[in-house]
Amino acid sequence: MLSYQSIQELIEAAVEQDQCISDVVLADQAAALEQDPENLIQTMLQRLEVMRQAVEKGLADAGPSPSGLSGGAASSLRQALDKQQSVLDPVLVQVMAKALAVAEVNAKMGRIVAAPTAGSCGIIPGIVLTVGELQSISDRQIALSLFTASGFGLVIANRASLSGAEGGCQAECGSAAGMAAAAAVELMGGTPEQSAHACAIALKNCLGLVCDPVAGLVEVPCIKRNAGQAASALAAAEMALAGITSAIPVDEVIEAMKDVGNQMSVTLKETAAGGLAMTPTGQAVDARLTEDAASHLD
């Protein structure tokens, strides 16, 4: 739990105390958990290391997932970057490759940090590790930025949802993008208000995004959505750092996301009964996997 009920309260506390959002969240969580803040930082550094190892593993392992539905995307993107075959800025490609890498490790049942969920696990590592490398930022600072991401995530969880089953993919990958954008702004030396605008912009850019995993597996479209939402998060951070603001305050965007999630059909909330899961190809994949599973039981 977080003592702050809204992002606005969090921002006001940071501004009043002349601190970063991460400092405010860290102090709040240390008090709530009755822990020394340094212990929480050390735990977050361990989480950061898990994120880094997942990136390295995902980039190196181009093999297929157990279902055969995914695998090798991160490695392909990295190779294209190495061969200078990218149309995008290399920083953006690196963000996307890392996001794909972690999501692919998740699909292979590897070790990831569910930040905020397993399905959206690539977005935050993709952003904070790339920005950290780019700016030669210490691991300690990167770990601190994860407290900022966590603070935003806790508010979203309290006011709306982080679950695809409850709010669609906007709640899962969208929230991860909002959290990552807020952390990126802090890492780049932006203000607490800019972090809030970055989160709002990232969330607005994916309102209505449905949860429609093919065959109910967190692979298609989830893995590539991690890359897409990581790119969106970076774009949102860039805009906010340039002084571009969200016309709708972030807390209202979160409320809108909740409202959209409530209006979303249950077929589009992780039930694999709508969207991409119900395309002819999606259904054929589901039938093949069901047949494979049955043959293993024979």
Closest to ligand SF4 by CB, 155 vs 218, is 218
Which residues, other chains included, contact 120 with Cβ-Cβ below 8 Å and sequence gap of 6+?
Answer: 172, 173, 175, 176, 222, 226, 229
The yes or no reply on residue 213 touching ligand SF4 (CB under 6 A) is: yes
Do the Cβ atoms of 159 and 137 come closer than 8 Å? no
- Residue 269: phi and psi, rounded to 5, are -130, 70
The window from 53-61, 130-138, 207-215, 252-260 that contacts ligand SF4 (CB under 6 A) reads: 207-215
User: Least distance (Å) from ligand SF4 to the CB of residue 107?
Assistant: 10
User: Least distance (Å) from ligand SF4 to the CB of residue 190?
Assistant: 27
Closest to ligand SF4 by CB, 55 vs 218, is 218
The yes or no reply on residue 75 touching ligand SF4 (CB under 6 A) is: no
Closest to ligand SF4 by CB, 101 vs 222, is 222
**CA nearest to 168, candidates 260, 269, 274, 256:** 269
CA atoms of 214 and 221, how far apart (whole Å): 7
User: Least distance (Å) from ligand SF4 to the CB of residue 102?
Assistant: 12
CA atoms of 238 and 39, how far apart (whole Å): 32
Among 119, 122, 190, 192, binds ligand SF4 (CB under 6 A): 119
DSSP string across 155-202: HHHHHS-S-HHHH-HIIIIIHHHHHHHHHHHHHTT--HHHHHHHHHHH
Among 29, 75, 106, 120, binds ligand SF4 (CB under 6 A): 120
**CA nearest to 234, candidates 127, 121, 103:** 127
| Chain residues 223-242 in contact with ligand SF4, contact rule CB under 6 A | 225
User: How many CB atoms lie under 10 A from the CB of residue 154?
Assistant: 21
Among 160, 169, 179, 199, binds ligand SF4 (CB under 6 A): 169
Closest to ligand SF4 by CB, 71 vs 119, is 119
CA atoms of 256 and 269, how far apart (whole Å): 17
The window from 49-57, 123-131, 217-225, 244-252 that contacts ligand SF4 (CB under 6 A) reads: 217-225
Stated length of the chain: 298
Closest to ligand SF4 by CB, 3 vs 283, is 283
The window from 81-89, 122-130, 165-173, 252-260 that contacts ligand SF4 (CB under 6 A) reads: 165-173
Residue nearest to ligand SF4 according to CB distances in the complex? 164
User: Least distance (Å) from ligand SF4 to the CB of residue 68?
Assistant: 18
CA atoms of 74 and 80, how far apart (whole Å): 10
The yes or no reply on residue 222 touching ligand SF4 (CB under 6 A) is: yes
Q: Which residues bind ligand SF4 (CB under 6 A)?
A: 119-120, 164, 169, 172-173, 211-213, 218, 221-222, 225, 270
